[in-house]
Amino acid sequence: MELFVSEGNPHCLKVLAALEVTGVQCSVQYVNHEERVVPFLSRPTLPALILPGGLHLFSSNAICRYLFEVSGQESSELCNQWLEWEATDLQPALLQALYMAVLQGKGSEVSTVLQGPLNFLDQSLSKGGTPYLTGEAVSVADVVLWAALYPVLSDSSQALGEHKSVNGWFDRVASVHSCLSAAQKVLQGKGLQGMKSYMQRQPAPQSSQGRNTQPCNCNPA
């Protein structure tokens, strides 16, 4: 089993955190952003995990889920739901926020972009009444969401605004030592600037309006 990651790539932070938290044995290779590890994908995609059977995993959430499962923690339906929400709702907003903060110097507008997803997360945490997203212990959902939010939230405390429950949860997950050590590996202690070369290679995020008005398959013939 071999894991390929690149420095400054926020998705790699997720898988490295999951690897450290689960303690799964796996060799890790640092490559550059342009390396095409997954042979069937036209665009370079990292992180990538080559499974024992030779299949490739190229989704960071699927990799994290797999690492938790082989360490004996199968993900619950609530975990699945958080991972899906992270991919479909949080990621588009985060990409836009990172683009603004890292490349456009508009760090002050980050909190506006993240308002919606952070409200949702905050409400769910305060309604759930448990220290972590899916219960009393850290699950794959906590690790994935924490790692996704870490670059933005650790850089600017104002991005969090009045989200007290998110704040408490974020600090609780950060106190799991292995999470912070993964963040150090990916960002090299440079904060958001550590992601600059990665962000420069990403297509400019579409505005959320454009995404909703022209999805290509909302129109069955």
Partner 1 sequence: MALRELSSLEKYLGLKKPNKYSTQGDKKVPVLQNNNGPPLLGLATIACHLVKEAKRPELLGDTAESRAVVQQWLEYRVTKLDSCAKEDIKIILKDLNLYLQDKVYLAGNRFTVADTLMYYGIHPLIVDLAVQEKEHCVGCSEQLSVSPRVRDQSEAPISPTTTTVDAAGQRE
Residue 216 is a binding residue for partner 1 (CB under 8 A): yes
E runs forming strands in the chain: 2-5, 27-30, 48-50, 56-57
> Interface with partner 1 by CB under 8 A: which range of 27-35, 52-60, 150-158, 194-202?
52-60
Closer residue to partner 1, CB minimum distance, 38 or 110: 38
DSSP state of 48: E
Residue 99 is a binding residue for partner 1 (CB under 8 A): no
Closest among 152, 113, 139, 155 to 10, alpha carbons compared = 152
Closer residue to partner 1, CB minimum distance, 65 or 185: 65
**Of residues 1-30, those binding partner 1 (CB under 8 A):** none
Kindly determine how many residues on this chain lie close enough to bind partner 1 according to the rule CB under 8 A: 40
Q: How far is the CB of 158 from partner 1 (least distance, A)?
A: 26
Sign of CA dihedral 195, 158, 94, 84: positive
Q: Applying CB under 8 A, which of residues 15, 18, 63, 138 lies at the interface with partner 1?
A: 63
First to last CA, the chain: 43
Sign of CA dihedral 52, 55, 60, 65: negative
Closest among 201, 153, 204, 192 to 8, alpha carbons compared = 192
Report the distance separating Cα 213 and Cα 221, nearest Å: 17
**Of residues 178-207, those binding partner 1 (CB under 8 A):** 206
Residue 129 is a binding residue for partner 1 (CB under 8 A): no
**Of residues 77-96, those binding partner 1 (CB under 8 A):** 77, 80-81, 83-85, 87-88, 91-92
Q: Which residues bind partner 1 (CB under 8 A)?
A: 39-43, 51-53, 55, 57-59, 61-63, 65-66, 69-70, 77, 80-81, 83-85, 87-88, 91-92, 206, 211-212, 214-221
